[in-house]
């Protein structure tokens, strides 16, 4: 085998231009497939990042009343379900869930700093796990202490957007906010550990982005009933251990919350539902991949053309070396020896083309990414499969010329000129 490989390289080197032109179809086909696969993978990761965010793997679980998200209304007469401590522990202990937070939320609450109104943002009543679960840290001031929760303290933490929009960039620690006419002292400023720009596809995405951009004010959840008088449901955010487990973790947490809701007894239609972002990711990835797969099939045509070129050049090689084959047979070379020699030469030829094609494909995908701004991610399995596939092309399309060489009559071969 080693001798066959040596002879193959010797034959390829002795006809450099002809060998390169033969490999050109393989090189173009492999390069095209590698660049397309890299673009598909990069686009898939970009879709995942656009929809999920900065990789915090969090899932929102919201209370619905029928087909619509439940909003607290003192006149409806409906009492939302209360999440018990046992349910909270069950969710935190659930497989694939690293942490969970339970909090109250209000949009467009009556918030004032002096004479300035804070409108369009959100007010949250959070527990001690909110910052870790949702990816916040304290920038200035301090975090909530256990005494703040136990003593129903009227204190607040604001995010960096509130600092910019309401306090015009000045340090707000020690200042007083009025939330529904109740004074709350600002004790700290919080910010996201990782920032990203969300991809907005519809009006709901825009509303969520605007609310985040205006800012968020956080108070202890135990102090929530002070400014907001009637019962409200708690929102839930869980943190999954990986992006791929987000859907299952969200569904399991929602099932735990729904297991104690007795809608028949309360004459309601409440149900907790988890945002299945991964389903949206998969749907968009499928759409992207189905389009790209068509391009892969088109690029594969060049591999077929390249394979035919290999077959053609190997047939020419057999004709050129008829006398050499006759001499080998005359001194006792068997059919399988001749067959193996020509198959090895065809495989080496296409393998070299495959390796050059892989390098060209990686370079092409990076160049396209830089010029067009399209994301790109190199796929190691695709590279390995491409090289193996190019070798297989050499074997398949080199088989006919190899069989022809192996079946030559030694007497007729020695007579040829």
Give the range among 44-48, 162-166, 247-251, 265-269 with minimum mean pLDDT: 44-48
pLDDT tens, position by position, 92-131 = 999 889 999 999 988 878 899 988 888 878 899 999 999 9
Name the average pLDDT for the chain: 78
pLDDT tens figures, 163-189: 988 898 899 999 999 999 999 999 999
pLDDT value at residue 221: 93
Over residues 53-79, the mean pLDDT reads 74
Residues 6+ apart with CB under 8 A from 303: 25, 26, 29, 30, 33, 389, 390, 393
334 vs 260 pLDDT, higher one: 260
Average pLDDT over every residue of 319-337: 70
Report the b/e string of 92-115 with b at 16+ CB within 10 A. eebebbbbbbbbbbbeebebbbee
Is the model's pLDDT at 152 over the cut of 70? yes
- Asked whether the predicted pLDDT for residue 162 surpasses 70, the reply is yes
* Domain range annotation of the chain: 2-51+282-415, 56-276
């Amino acid at each position: 085998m080693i001798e066959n490989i040596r002879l193959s390289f010797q034959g390829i080197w002795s006809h450099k231009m002809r060998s390169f032109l033969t490999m050109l179809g393989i090189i173009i086909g492999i390069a095209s497939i590698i660049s397309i696969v890299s673009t598909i993978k990069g686009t898939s990761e970009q879709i995942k990042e656009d929809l999920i965010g900065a990789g915090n793997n969090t899932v929102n679980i919201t209370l619905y009343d029928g087909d619509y998200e439940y909003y607290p209304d003192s006149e409806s007469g409906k009492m939302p379900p209360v999440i018990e401590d046992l349910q909270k522990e069950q969710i935190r202990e659930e497989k694939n869930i690293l942490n969970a937070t339970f909090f109250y939320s209000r949009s467009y609450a009556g918030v004032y700093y002096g004479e300035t109104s804070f409108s369009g943002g959100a007010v949250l009543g959070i527990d001690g796990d909110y910052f870790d679960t949702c990816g916040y840290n304290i920038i200035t001031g301090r975090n909530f202490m256990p005494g703040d929760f136990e003593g129903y303290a009227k204190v607040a933490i604001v995010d960096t957007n509130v600092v910019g929009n309401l306090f015009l960039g000045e340090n707000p620690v020690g200042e007083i906010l009025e939330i529904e006419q109740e004074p709350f002292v600002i004790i700290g400023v919080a910010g996201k550990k990782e920032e990203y720009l969300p991809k907005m596809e519809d009006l709901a995405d825009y509303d969520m982005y605007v609310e985040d951009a205006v800012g968020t004010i956080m108070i202890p959840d135990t102090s929530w009933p002070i400014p907001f008088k009637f019962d409200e449901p708690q929102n839930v955010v869980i943190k999954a251990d990986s992006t791929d487990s987000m859907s299952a973790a969200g569904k399991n947490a929602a099932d735990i919350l729904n297991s104690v809701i007795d809608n028949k007894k309360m004459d309601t239609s409440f149900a907790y539902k988890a945002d299945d972002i991964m389903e949206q990711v998969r749907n968009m990835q499928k759409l992207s991949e189905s389009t790209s797969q068509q391009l892969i099939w088109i690029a594969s045509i060049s591999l077929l053309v390249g394979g035919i070129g290999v077959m053609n050049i190997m047939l020419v090689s057999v004709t050129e070396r008829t006398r050499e084959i006759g001499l080998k047979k005359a001194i006792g070379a068997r059919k399988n020896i001749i067959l193996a020699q020509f198959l090895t030469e065809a495989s080496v030829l296409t393998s070299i083309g495959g390796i050059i094609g892989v390098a060209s494909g990686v370079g092409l995908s990076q160049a396209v990414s830089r010029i067009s701004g399209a994301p790109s991610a190199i796929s190691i399995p695709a590279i390995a499969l491409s090289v193996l596939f190019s070798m297989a092309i050499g074997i398949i399309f080199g088989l006919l010329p190899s069989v022809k060489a192996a079946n030559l009559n030694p007497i007729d071969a020695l007579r040829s000129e």
